[in-house]
Amino acid sequence: MKARIFFFTAKAGQTALCIGRALRLYGYESRIYTVSRLAGRDDAFTEIVPSLYEIVGKGFQEKDALIFIGAAGIAVRAVAPHIKDKASDPPVLLSDESGRFVIPLLSGHIGGANGLARLLAAPLGAIPILTTATDVNGLFAVDEWAARKGFALSSLKEAKAFASAALEHEGAAVFSEFPLTGTMPSGLFVADKGPVGIALTAHTDVCPFAVTVAVYPKVLHVGVGCRRGKKGTAICELIRAVFQDNHLALQSVKDINTIDIKTDEAGIAETAACFDVPLRFYDAAELGAVEGTEASSAFVAAAVGVDNVCERAAMAGADAAELIVKKYAKNGITVAVACETGAIAWEY
């Protein structure tokens, strides 16, 4: 995690150093930027060169946390040309030069600016000023929770509708395909129908509430086998078709899995890159020890040393899983999907 800190007055420099020290404790790498007349006052300070606009723009591109110390107008003008949307903007925070207040300006939930404001408040002795409606009203922020858990949302539009409905009804229901552990956040309750709620699911057709936001945890392991030379586009196309036919969410894919003799298979590597997930390999002995599969081929066993690749590889990707899509074969490509059966914890 990285952060860029900006200050513009001598007094604000001490607050910048304090924020930098606090960020290091939380595992952030930080760099402190200031104007030329102040840059030489401490080795930790870097002059704003070539311009504030360009440094802030690079911060947006690299998704770094941006922390401004000073007037809100400076921060607003610096970030305004770079703002795109809440799904992609980095966290942007503001502190006064004395460090009395810390205010998230952008990406409070998804980017984590609200959480970072809370973290910085303690070492600064500051008050975090949170203005998002769910925080003001003490309600569960599904987008912040999902982002910190590494889960995906069905859409930001649905998340916004959920937040509005939850405020109106002073709470929301939860439906989950998975066991839940830990303490359920205040304002939530378990139900399978109602006016507004969250659906923790790996399926795209689960919509139990009048206003539903689906949360997709990373629980699906895709097993792949193929003949030599298959293109990544063909493998990806088949995976998408299998997911569509089975109403599975691509956002829940956790990894692509296959046998180790495919380590040089460019098409499988391209597939993992396409879905932006890890690619994992297993040898024949590891795959042969996997239980819970059904497909078996003497031809495959003779060729690679194990009777099927895709089902066994999918199941090998998780400690505890259930095979939910059996071997599907088309044009020399095989695909199977396993779903984790473990519990999901409410805590981060």
Length of the chain: 348
Maximum distance among all Cα pairs of the chain, rounded to whole angstroms: 76
Q: Is residue 273 part of a domain?
A: yes
Same domain, 245 and 200: no
Provide φ and ψ at 238, rounded to 5°: -70, -40
Output the CA–CA distances (angstroms, integers) from residue 210 to 166, 187, 192, 194, 283, in the order listed. Answer: 12, 17, 11, 6, 47
Residues with Cβ within 8 Å of residue 233, at least 6 apart in sequence: 270
Range of the domain at 170: 151-216
Q: Is residue 304 part of a domain?
A: yes
DSSP state letters, 194-212: EEEEEEE-SBSS---EEEE
Kindly report the pTM of this predicted structure.
0.70
Structural domains in the chain (count): 3
How far is residue 97's CA from residue 16's CA, in Å, rounded to a whole number? 8
Same domain, 102 and 197: no
CATH of the domain at 252: 3.30.420.180
pLDDT for the residue numbered 187: 80
pLDDT for the residue numbered 136: 44
Tens of pLDDT along the chain (348 residues) come to: 899 999 999 999 999 999 999 999 888 899 999 999 999 889 999 999 999 999 999 999 999 999 999 999 999 999 999 998 877 889 999 999 999 999 989 876 667 788 888 889 888 888 888 766 555 445 577 877 888 888 998 877 777 777 776 666 677 889 999 999 999 887 888 888 988 888 999 999 999 998 888 999 999 999 999 999 999 999 999 999 999 999 999 999 999 999 999 999 999 999 999 999 999 999 999 999 998 888 888 888 887 889 899 999 999 988 889 999 999 999 999 999 999 999 999 986
Same domain, 246 and 319: yes
Cβ(144)–Cβ(115) below 8 Å:
yes
